[in-house]
Structure 1
């Protein structure tokens, strides 16, 4: 079995077969990694928000991104920008944790633009407050 066979399901879609560290970096096959989220994860909006927040609080932004991405793929079309923007924020934090400041700032900018244009259901989230918080933290990092 080749590495590419292990990383794809029968239909050819990628899966999370390779072990990863706490920030989602791939580890060698056979290494002990941090468990990732299942590919078929299906959570409702409130469950997604709760789980993503729990993971962020535990300093596992890569895993929070996976939860948000799963919701993004399963949600109604009108909500996709919300979940995409939130997933981008989690990836931005992941990049910060990995030491990639430039990549983090690019993702934060993209996420704020997506979330700023979003007019759909917010599921109790203070989207303008999230954007303000990201921009304030970005300004602090740039000083």
Structure 2
């Protein structure tokens, strides 16, 4: 069987995939694929990845974040790689692969912790480190993970006051 290849000869799979990123038989209907050449500004990347995470599509969120990692500036590669690894860790949980999840969540935790208290693009580095550590601890203790808990907020949520909400 001949593999799909891109213009540079790298292997690519045009097979449809399920919501967890697993290949489906040719001709099956899968979830929408993330384009191989995706290149978005950071704010759009985060919005797109957050939407996918919120819909339980962590594998697709990983592909969006991986594109930012590969296309972004060298100074931000560790950050984007950590975010992509977080999404892959969630994917492993969704697939029931605890060992793989722990490996990727730990890598994500380390990379994101190295970014300090205020990573660029309003990314909630400290919150994501706590999320990864908390989910890892639950997995290590054999606790069941509610899949709705696997929707971390990628960006800092700010308290926005309306002009009417001031003291008075």
TM-score, length-normalised on structure 1?
0.91
SS in structure 1 at match of 2:22: coil
Deviations, residues 49-92 of structure 1 (Å, cap 9, x unaligned): 11100000000000000100111111000000000000000000
Task: State the 1:14 CA deviation.
Answer: 3.0
Map of 1:22 onto structure 2: 19
123, 126, 131: which is aligned to 2:124?
Answer: 126
Instruction: Show the 5 A alignment for 1:1-143.
Output: 2-4=1-3, 7-118=4-115, 121-143=119-141
1:79/1:121 contact within 8 Å kept: no
Structure 2 residue runs without a partner (length 5+): 142-168
Give the aligned CA root-mean-square deviation in angstroms: 1.5
Tell me, what secondary structure is at the counterpart of 2:11? coil
User: Whose Rg is larger?
Assistant: 2
TM-score by length of 2: 0.78
Structure 1: distance between partners of 2:90 and 2:140: 15
**Per residue, is there more helix in 1 or in 2?**
1
Aligned residues: 140
